[in-house]
Structure 1
Amino acid sequence: MELLALQSARAGTLSRDEIQRRFGVPYQVEEKLTDVPAWPVTSSLEKEVGPVAYAFESIDIAPLPGFEGSPMNFLITIDRKGNFMGVEILQQREPVFTFRDLGGLGDTPLREFIAQYAGKSINQPFVIALDAARNHTGMTANRGTHATLDGISKATTSVRIIHQTVLTSALEVARARLGFADRTKRGPPGKPLPEVFERPSFAQMLDRGMVGRLRLSNRDVEKLFAGTEGANADEEALAHPDELYVDLYVAYLNAPTIGRAILGDEQYQAAMERNFDNRHLWWIASAGRFRIVDDDFTPGTQSPRVAMAQDGGFLDFRDQGFDPVGIAGAPELNSSRLFGVAADANIDPAQALDIVLTVTRAKGMILPTLTHQQVKLAYQPPSQLFVYPPKPLPEWLLAWKSRWPDLAIISLSLLMLSVVLAKPRWISVNPRRLRNFRLAFLAYTLGYLGWYAQGQLSIVQITGAVKTLKSGLGFSAYLYDPVSLLLIGFTLVSFIAWGRGTFCGWLCPFGALQEFIGLVARKLRFPQLNIRPKLAKRLEWGRYAVLAALLLAAFFAPEVGVSLNEVEPFKTSITVAFNRGWPYVAYALLLLAAGAFYYKFFCRFICPLGAVMSLGGKLRRPDWLTRRSECGKPCQRCKVVCNYDAIEPSGEIRYDACFQCLDCVGVFHDAQRCVPVMLYEKKGKVLVPKVQGA
């Protein structure tokens, strides 16, 4: 019970309708995605562009524990450019944000803090500082290259967790849907090996890429500001263009071979003992005129001058309050500090990342105009210092593995059915044997394949394919339903071998339910409705009309199409086993009642999926249901026993209407039931069969 409670506590709480109420017109919240737990949001004003935003709950993506141990939950919305549209608190138990009369600040400061995300971009580095809007750097919410947030003085730890939660969740969705580089495609992140392989010198580490370096002269920096208001604003740079402006160094310390060589054993041990939450640590140092922190820098915060980005997104790159000294072999440094990124920040330290420097110039004495330019140092430590866990299987393959028992059972049943249909004589020549086998297989189809394994194919899969083609998206989502995909594959093959009746007559759970209802009704002597063959054939066109309407709706009016798809009662009767609202249940029961008075009423006159199957059956190659030249001329025995009216008076079989019950096959091969054979035997003659078809 405790485990269930924990799992439920870490699941999103909002429904699609609740998200929709937050957006309103002209926005439409679509179905939740399968590859990332987010709702795409489209606009009726921009239908052709696809989703204009994505809404998601942070607890579904980054359930980071708060200060008191349980994760907070936020509803986050980003637009298609990666800008935050809003952040809303859904759940939090942080002590600092409890009611004032309980000693907390109340949740007003929290709501004010998260409101600051609106309009900011995940493509920017964030800086959280107290009274940041009046920070002397001038990096306000509307100026500069940084996104600056005002912190909460008495909630420093909680604010950090909130920011990490919001940023990690947004980056995950951006990587999945907005074209940001997706780290997960490379597999799990590399883990630094705990061994120390050697003691390289500082110069050797530079040569081998263990330490990254960026060296800029005054002339290089002046080129950055060319054409901006910051050009020619640095008199010293103009006077001494070839002198050093910045010499920047970076090294990943969690790899002991690098960390111990940079810090020495004593400082390395001290740094790692303080790193109780297993953060990724980097040594950042600078020489020259530029410093990575200024005199007013507050230890433990982000520096507005240095940031870290990977895969197109900036990370919460925070000073660790540790100033290494005595770096052997390094030049004279003006700043030397440790910066860290949380272990759960979705970063791969073994892959390339960028250290981004922000250089600021001021023009004017009173209310100066600030100009910011960024320069990047690309850094990737040597791969031999890391171990790489095996790449996880794709989610769709995990779905297949989790359902292998069902797939095995279904595959065996499909193999059995294939053998029966390929060699139908033995099973069908004995009426009792055929009846028992058919009823048992239909019971399996209804109970196991339908209600248990959820293998009911549906017109929704067809209309969904239409929507997918229209949107230009791939069909990868179908891989996540292995049972349906197996049945679809088998049905496509069966079209060529036997026609439409393989699915409709043997593998459709609702069809099986209808057949049982019809058999029971006949057993109870319910009056059966007789429809003239010509009228029945015309009524059969109804399913094609329904199919056409659903396909047109899926293409031109998808929202209407979702409602029209309910003409098919499969979801009500099979998927949820009648556990649904009364109008849907009443409709399904009405169709089943109609089947009690006219055999398989829905299948024959309404079913749009049956229309698809009939069209697919046009691919059938052999006429595998054998006939004699005497069939229909004059013998009508098979036509009389066919419950589906699939045999013409001429003896010809209408494969579009045939459900492959095999009754006619049994009559054909049974000398005690086939009238032409019986007549010839009475005359002492041997009937030479003239078989029509295969």
Structure 2
Amino acid sequence: MLGDWLKRYETKIIMFHGIRVLFNRITVLPSNRILGLAVSVLLMLASNWTWAGNLNKEDIERRFRRPYQVQEKLTDIPVWPLTSALEQQAGPVAYVFESIDLAPLLGFEGTPMNYLVSIDRKGNFIDVELLHQNEPVFTFRDMGGLGDKPLREFISQYAGRSIRQPFLIALDAARNRTGQSGSSGGLTVLDGISRATSSVRVTNQTVLDAANEVARAKLGFADRKKSGPAAHVLPDVYDPVSFEDMLKNGMVGRLRMTHAQVEKIFAGTEGARVDAYALAHPDEVFVDFYVAYLNAPTIGRAILGDAQYKAVMERNFDKRHLWWVASVGQYSIIDEGFIPGAQSPRLAMKQNATFLELRDQDFEPKVIGALPELNTSRLFGVNAAASLDPASPLELILTITRAKGSILPTLIPKQVTLSYVPPASLFAYPPKPLPEWLLAWKARWIDLTVLGVALVLLAIVLSRPRWISRDARRLRIFRLGFLAFTLVYIGWYAQGQLTIVQVTGAIKTLKAGQGLTSYLYDPISLLLMAFTLVSFFIWGRGTFCGWLCPFGALQEFVGLLARRLRIPRLQIPLAVARRLEWGRYLALATLVAAAFLLPTQGETLNEVEPFKTVTTLVFDRTWPFVAYAIALLVTGAFYYKFFCRFLCPLGGAMSLGGRLRRFDWLPRRAECGQPCQRCKAVCEYDAIEPSGKIRYDVCFQCLDCVGVYHDDKRCVPIMLHQKKGGRLVSPSGSRNCSTSAVPAGTGIISKCHPGRGI
């Protein structure tokens, strides 16, 4: 048994070993090789994972009982057709499918959610059932999440809604479970879930994408991703026009064929020369075929007259697309066995290579105007939910059938096509709908603006920190104010806490061969990620960990409160602290390996960071998770930011990213560490070596050392030089320089070493 397990995981173990070797190399590589190596690691991790549903026909039969009859799963698209015992000849009346087979969109945690979706033949949702999800916010309450009840309540809102309706997610929206909106183009508002914005948007996109795939394949819905939104009729546009003018300007389509032309299309087949009348009268009209789109008032009123047009539109309560179809001549568009209200076997409609259900409306209109005697004049309609654009070209296909032989004759069908498109001036085109992720950005534009302004302010301060840091009180006010903004606004309000789940989720996504588009649904986090990535190259890991991490901000406030309460501080020798700092790398490596080898267990291991408890759910979890988070905060009261420095896996990832830093931006003097230890003494993070060198991998960018460096009342070298009657001036430029003391007014001698001055 052990041998089988080893054989099964042999490849994964080898790849994990490779990751470990690469990880060890990263810790010693120079920064200019980190990026290329990181890309190599991601490519190695991007081995294909595939997701598929696991229900079978019996599972579907347990959910859909009589009068439904579950058919075998189709091979061309993974759906189960449902037929009805009440409509034996109607074909499939609904389709059931697992969303993971058609739209495996990745959630926040890096794996797709799976829903059992059922839609009827008109494109209305019958039901949406949750089958599987790994979203951290929806874990069971005994595991510290909200539980999946809010998610189940959310998806229950789809029942009765049409796929063709625009869907809008809003908090505290009035839920309307009574069915569709008043019109097929009406807006459907779904009540969202607080603190689960990204997961809800991914859910909505998953359900809609999967349903639309089936609708396009089985219900005749056109692919609006390519053709754009459908046009709609301008109801107030009406210009009186004659029938002759409508023929000229395309409002009425016409196809006229003589016997000779029909004979030509049957040439070379068994149907050739079997119609004696046609051979004797080649120039007579075989069929004169007319079509017009009646929903446009200019066309409808001109053909039907005002009274008849009004009556027709009043009875069109389903808002169907209506066409007047008529014919003149020997051949009719309906045969002797035609049933009013049904489809005509002789007539079909197609648009964008997709056939539409063109059904008779059981109405024979009297046409206004001088027309030859019509053998047929009827109204045909297409369901409003069908993906049809009335202003785009469509094809009316007329089937002409000839028979050869008198006993059991051979039927030879041929088709002729009438292309029809009404004038564009009768329609308006709505703007192309925005993608779901862009709607998420628009919905949060205020939050993005506030966060953007804050990030610009932070970037300015960090780029020119001398003024803000030289005055200790001014720096303290700014730093505590910004950290309060980070905790309250970014963390608790905007839900912008970056987390290791985003790292492990990206690994799972890349391994599955999927893109990272799901991250677009969380604009706040994405903006923070982008800013943090840029900050790696300039300042290192400290920008995020020291200024933009809500949990880090809370730890800092706890540490300050502990100092006010005179809680004793634990002292850990520097050598021991350095070894403990490897804890965050160990935690990171463990979670990365779990995401690669044991993704389900990795979800539990991710709880090593308390961000979900403290920031996302604001302590609204079961007691073990709350107790763990509080224990970490209490530990931080005795040892400053204990979790950030020794345990945080995200901090480990940030430290690795910080190796992309291109500048040693913290200024140093030759006297720093030799012998002056003032900056080291004030550094709460042990980020300054006894030699005076900055350890950027553990620096939280608090700017305390910058303030000391520039303050002639705190910097010991400056004070000593002033006491001896000299002056020490911090030079400007792109180098870090120290200056030697000389008598006042005689100039400055600089001793410079590599680095960047401030």
Please report the TM-score for the alignment, with normalisation by the length of structure 2.
Answer: 0.64
Match of 2:676 among 611, 627, 635: 635
Superimposed CA distance per residue, residues 227-249 of structure 1 (whole angstroms, 9 cap, x where no aligned partner): xxxx9599957997999987654
SS at match of 1:619: coil
1:616: which partner in 2?
Answer: 657
The reply to whether residue 546 of structure 1 matches residue 569 of structure 2 is no
The reply to whether residue 487 of structure 1 matches residue 528 of structure 2 is yes
- Kindly indicate whether the alpha-carbon contact (under 8 Å) linking 2:538 and 2:663 is maintained by their aligned counterparts in 1: yes
1:675: which partner in 2?
Answer: 716
Amino acid at match of 1:260: R
Structure 1 position 650, deviation (Å): 1.0
The reply to whether residue 190 of structure 1 matches residue 232 of structure 2 is yes
- Kindly indicate whether the alpha-carbon contact (under 8 Å) linking 1:356 and 1:376 is maintained by their aligned counterparts in 2: yes
The reply to whether residue 431 of structure 1 matches residue 472 of structure 2 is yes
In 1: Cα distance, 2:428 partner to 2:318 partner: 21
In 2: Cα distance, 1:287 partner to 1:628 partner: 100
Superimposed CA distance per residue, residues 429-483 of structure 1 (whole angstroms, 9 cap, x where no aligned partner): 2323322322222111101111011121222333333344444544444333332
In 1: Cα distance, 2:670 partner to 2:435 partner: 56
Specify whether residues 132 and 661 from structure 1 end up closer, same or farther in structure 2 by C-alpha distance, changes over 3 A only: closer
Structure 1 position 629, deviation (Å): 0.3
- Kindly indicate whether the alpha-carbon contact (under 8 Å) linking 2:163 and 2:212 is maintained by their aligned counterparts in 1: no
In 2: Cα distance, 1:550 partner to 1:290 partner: 74
% identical equivalent positions: 54
SS at match of 1:514: helix
Structure 1 position 660, deviation (Å): 0.7
In 2: Cα distance, 1:374 partner to 1:189 partner: 29
Amino acid at match of 2:124: T
In 1: Cα distance, 2:405 partner to 2:634 partner: 86
2:698: which partner in 1?
Answer: 657
- Kindly indicate whether the alpha-carbon contact (under 8 Å) linking 1:182 and 1:311 is maintained by their aligned counterparts in 2: no
Amino acid at match of 1:112: P
Specify whether residues 419 and 653 from structure 1 end up closer, same or farther in structure 2 by C-alpha distance, changes over 3 A only: same
**Does 660-669 or 115-124 show the bigger shift?**
115-124
Specify whether residues 278 and 641 from structure 1 end up closer, same or farther in structure 2 by C-alpha distance, changes over 3 A only: same
Equivalent residue runs for 1:456-605 within 5 Å? 456-555=497-596, 558-605=599-646
In 2: Cα distance, 1:132 partner to 1:375 partner: 32
In 1: Cα distance, 2:93 partner to 2:473 partner: 80
- Kindly indicate whether the alpha-carbon contact (under 8 Å) linking 1:188 and 1:392 is maintained by their aligned counterparts in 2: no
Structure 1 position 662, deviation (Å): 1.1
1:100: which partner in 2?
Answer: none
Superimposed CA distance per residue, residues 107-160 of structure 1 (whole angstroms, 9 cap, x where no aligned partner): x7xx51585797599999x999997546xxxxx74xxxxx589xxxxxxxxxx9
1:181: which partner in 2?
Answer: 223
2:455: which partner in 1?
Answer: 414
In 1: Cα distance, 2:593 partner to 2:277 partner: 72
Match of 2:393 among 352, 375, 386: 352
- Kindly indicate whether the alpha-carbon contact (under 8 Å) linking 1:87 and 1:115 is maintained by their aligned counterparts in 2: no
Match of 2:67 among 98, 112, 126: 112
Specify whether residues 52 and 336 from structure 1 end up closer, same or farther in structure 2 by C-alpha distance, changes over 3 A only: farther
In 1: Cα distance, 2:309 partner to 2:678 partner: 93
**Gaps in structure 2 of 5+ consecutive residues:** 1-46, 95-118, 127-160, 165-207, 217-221, 729-738, 741-750
Amino acid at match of 1:502: T
Amino acid at match of 2:626: V
In 2: Cα distance, 1:353 partner to 1:373 partner: 19
In 2: Cα distance, 1:488 partner to 1:532 partner: 34
SS at match of 2:526: helix
- Kindly indicate whether the alpha-carbon contact (under 8 Å) linking 2:68 and 2:82 is maintained by their aligned counterparts in 1: no
**Gaps in structure 1 of 5+ consecutive residues:** 1-46, 56-76, 79-84, 90-107, 135-139, 142-146, 150-159
Number of aligned positions between the proteins: 575
2:292: which partner in 1?
Answer: 251
In 2: Cα distance, 1:486 partner to 1:597 partner: 34
Superimposed CA distance per residue, residues 482-519 of structure 1 (whole angstroms, 9 cap, x where no aligned partner): 32232223222322332211111011101111212222
The reply to whether residue 341 of structure 1 matches residue 382 of structure 2 is yes
1:208: which partner in 2?
Answer: 250
1:299: which partner in 2?
Answer: 340
Specify whether residues 408 and 324 from structure 1 end up closer, same or farther in structure 2 by C-alpha distance, changes over 3 A only: same
Please report the TM-score for the alignment, with normalisation by the length of structure 1.
Answer: 0.69
Match of 2:241 among 174, 186, 199: 199
Specify whether residues 268 and 163 from structure 1 end up closer, same or farther in structure 2 by C-alpha distance, changes over 3 A only: same
2:188: which partner in 1?
Answer: none
In 2: Cα distance, 1:123 partner to 1:339 partner: 33
Structure 1 position 577, deviation (Å): 0.9
What is the CA RMSD across the aligned residues, in angstroms? 4.7
- Kindly indicate whether the alpha-carbon contact (under 8 Å) linking 1:455 and 1:483 is maintained by their aligned counterparts in 2: yes
In 1: Cα distance, 2:440 partner to 2:369 partner: 53
Higher relative contact order (CA 8 A, sep 6+): 2
- Kindly indicate whether the alpha-carbon contact (under 8 Å) linking 2:50 and 2:512 is maintained by their aligned counterparts in 1: yes
Equivalent residue runs for 1:128-167 within 5 Å? 133=88, 141=91, 163=122, 165-166=124-125
Superimposed CA distance per residue, residues 150-183 of structure 1 (whole angstroms, 9 cap, x where no aligned partner): xxxxxxxxxx998452598568646855786116
- Kindly indicate whether the alpha-carbon contact (under 8 Å) linking 1:123 and 1:313 is maintained by their aligned counterparts in 2: no
In 2: Cα distance, 1:539 partner to 1:220 partner: 90
Specify whether residues 502 and 215 from structure 1 end up closer, same or farther in structure 2 by C-alpha distance, changes over 3 A only: farther
- Kindly indicate whether the alpha-carbon contact (under 8 Å) linking 1:291 and 1:335 is maintained by their aligned counterparts in 2: yes
